[in-house]
A and B are shown apart, each in its own frame.
Chain A
């Protein structure tokens, strides 16, 4: 895999943020956020600040609310209390604000969620053409560029159903990148993959991390966390239990719940 190439290249996505000084300001601010499913209190008083270009890994036992949390950041889930501000836009009920946040935030799902009736290339071009109003030719060129980057340009005219899981997930990453987002959210991107395909997806993610993208990843891949994360966040029972740089997190966890979790997953 090699070391991540931090700050190596300035990619189009960081250049396309005119409003703020890259690297200094916060791009995501979550303040005192709560969420309930009916009477069930899923997320409790979450606070998080993410700077431009930061790479954050969120881990925790299943049911700890980590997926729900990152799905709140592009409002796939609604929060009931507290504030979420993404790229200076606060997420409220206002549909226009939600849409403007979603344009800047790419998301990769556990089950890929590619559009099965469209080819790989069409999957990638759809949103740039219809949302960003990019001319088709330009959108296709960009899409091919990103497909090249995730190493499957030769599959561009196939349908998702003809690809393997790992290839589908790489297309999903390319599709999200085609919108030139400022932030990428990964919701357990490797959990649905066969073991031999995990590496090809992680390689793409590591390459992306090296390019300076702001990333939030929910994942159980501790190796990935160690290599690329700036911070690791451990969640349990809907709360952020511990937050630390990966080295400290893995070698010297403070909270007993973290210690127990690490012991369980690092045994294998």
Chain B
């Protein structure tokens, strides 16, 4: 009886002892601790003053900024431009609907017991882009057309990243499968595609898509700059994605392929039901890494004259009416990127935990 009720001894945490063991265990550790402590104390205070205590939030024009702290009212004043770019104000509700749907599809993914969250997620991956395709450019169903040259700001950043991410995953998967195919022609094509796209910087891809591609297209067939950039980003990203996924495919033991074959599953069923679910799960960290990296790389569209969130902020901080607001602008951009990238990262960890079925074959 006594044995079965015995519990593992609890580890006690005693702050004084912990500090002595970890912070002041030797004379050089003590010096380092004091030094770091000094740096924290001297930097956090002024930073806090600048960001919050001395900062200006209220007001409507540049003279309301005292200059003692951050001038956040600048962000406040131009927020509409940072989010929608030149998208006409009277139609911005269309973009708002998309923001709402995006949040509705993905925010519940963090809440374990949210009803129907699987379907919401599925809608986010499939239905959302379709709704957006009709809603944002307009021109159909009595919606006023808004040219893509007017899109900008955060909305443009999200469109670029979102389409790039959800299109590159399936294309990358097919490329990875193709590269491991037993058919030499398919394998060859996939290898060439991957190696060519992966070896080119994204800036070059964007530049080619915007300047060179129209030269090669037949007369009259000319589609928008944004669409060309999107295609370029997607193909470029797919090449990266393919290699990440190939890593996962290679990590699946041969026995899994054999067992699936022995049960009579054909190639696509074997891959779709047995191999890919395991391989993709295995490379979630790599996939997310690529997503986050793409999310930030979308800022490069500035080079072909698209105004994403960084572009809109950059063009505003040079506005002579507002002076010395560059730091505030860039801090704001950095914060926006951080929020989204951190969200992606947390979600992926959540997903990894959920998919863990406690096995290693």
B263:A126 contact, CB within 8 angstroms: yes
Q: Mark B238-258, 1 if CB is under 8 A from A, else 0.
A: 000000000000000101101
Q: Does B12 contact A (CB under 8 A)?
A: no
The residue from B258, B273, B359 contacting A76, defined by CB atoms under 8 A apart:
B258
CB distance from A265 to the nearest CB of B (A): 26
Q: Quick check: which of A26-34, A159-167, A237-245, A255-263 contacts chain B, the rest being far away?
A: A159-167
The residue from A106, A130, A176 contacting B269, defined by CB atoms under 8 A apart:
A130
B261:A102 contact, CB within 8 angstroms: yes
Q: Does B357 contact A (CB under 8 A)?
A: yes
Chain B hits for A159, CB < 8 A: 357-359
The residue on B at minimum CB distance from A126 is B273
Interface centre among B263, B277, B278, B358 (most CB of A within 10 A): B263
Q: Does B139 contact A (CB under 8 A)?
A: no
B278:A109 contact, CB within 8 angstroms: no
CB distance from A111 to the nearest CB of B (A): 5
Chain A hits for B358, CB < 8 A: 159, 161-162
Main secondary structure of the interface of A (DSSP, over half): mixed
Chain A hits for B278, CB < 8 A: 115-117
A109 to B253, CA, bound (A): 13
How many residues of chain B have a CB within 8 Å of chain A? 24
A109:B265 contact, CB within 8 angstroms: no
Chain B hits for A176, CB < 8 A: 262-263
Interface centre among A103, A115, A162 (most CB of B within 10 A): A115
Q: Mark A81-124, 1 if CB is under 8 A from B, else 0.
A: 00000000000000100010011011101010111110000000
Given A111-B255, A126-B273, are A116 and B263 also a contact pair (CB < 8 Å)? no
B259:A114 contact, CB within 8 angstroms: yes
B263:A175 contact, CB within 8 angstroms: yes
Given A116-B357, A160-B359, are A127 and B256 also a contact pair (CB < 8 Å)? no
Q: Does A211 contact B (CB under 8 A)?
A: no
Given A113-B255, A126-B273, A161-B357, are A103 and B262 also a contact pair (CB < 8 Å)? no
CB distance from B355 to the nearest CB of A (A): 8
Of residues 50 to 70 in A, which have CB atoms within 8 Å of B's CB atoms? none
Chain B hits for A130, CB < 8 A: 265, 269, 273
Q: Does B264 contact A (CB under 8 A)?
A: yes
A113:B258 contact, CB within 8 angstroms: yes
CB distance from A246 to the nearest CB of B (A): 27
Q: Mark B143-175, 1 if CB is under 8 A from A, else 0.
A: 000000000000000000000000000000000
Q: Mark A208-236, 1 if CB is under 8 A from B, else 0.
A: 00000000000000000000000000000
The residue from B265, B277, B359, B360 contacting A131, defined by CB atoms under 8 A apart:
B265
Chain B hits for A174, CB < 8 A: none
B262:A107 contact, CB within 8 angstroms: yes
CB distance from B84 to the nearest CB of A (A): 43
Chain A hits for B269, CB < 8 A: 130-131
How many chain A residues sit at the interface, stated as a range, is 20 to 34
Chain B hits for A161, CB < 8 A: 357-360
A116 to B274, CA, bound (A): 9
CB distance from B253 to the nearest CB of A (A): 8
Interface centre among B258, B259, B269, B359 (most CB of A within 10 A): B259
B359:A116 contact, CB within 8 angstroms: yes
Chain A hits for B94, CB < 8 A: none
Chain B hits for A114, CB < 8 A: 259, 361
Q: Does B281 contact A (CB under 8 A)?
A: yes
Q: Does A169 contact B (CB under 8 A)?
A: no
A103 to B273, CA, bound (A): 17
Q: Does A74 contact B (CB under 8 A)?
A: yes
Chain B hits for A127, CB < 8 A: 263-265
A76:B265 contact, CB within 8 angstroms: no
Of residues 268 to 317 in B, which have CB atoms within 8 Å of A's CB atoms? 269, 273-274, 277-278, 281
Chain B hits for A162, CB < 8 A: 358
Q: Does A179 contact B (CB under 8 A)?
A: yes
Q: Mark B344-361, 1 if CB is under 8 A from A, else 0.
A: 000000000001011111
B273:A102 contact, CB within 8 angstroms: no
Q: Does B266 contact A (CB under 8 A)?
A: yes
CB distance from A130 to the nearest CB of B (A): 5
Chain B hits for A102, CB < 8 A: 261-264
CB distance from B212 to the nearest CB of A (A): 43
CB distance from A39 to the nearest CB of B (A): 21
Chain A hits for B357, CB < 8 A: 116-117, 159, 161
A interface residues with partner B (beta carbon < 8 Å): 74, 76, 95, 99, 102-103, 105-107, 109, 111, 113-117, 126-127, 130-131, 159-162, 175-176, 179
Give 17 A-B pairs besides A99-B264, A107-B259, A130-B269 with Cβ atoms closer than 8 angstroms. Answer: A76-B262, A95-B266, A102-B264, A103-B264, A111-B255, A111-B361, A113-B256, A115-B256, A115-B278, A117-B277, A126-B265, A131-B265, A131-B269, A159-B358, A159-B359, A162-B358, A175-B263
List, sorted by A's number, 9 A–B pairs whose CB atoms are closer than 8 Å.
A76-B261, A109-B262, A115-B256, A115-B278, A116-B361, A117-B277, A117-B359, A127-B263, A179-B264
B interface residues with partner A (beta carbon < 8 Å): 253, 255-256, 258-266, 269, 273-274, 277-278, 281, 355, 357-361
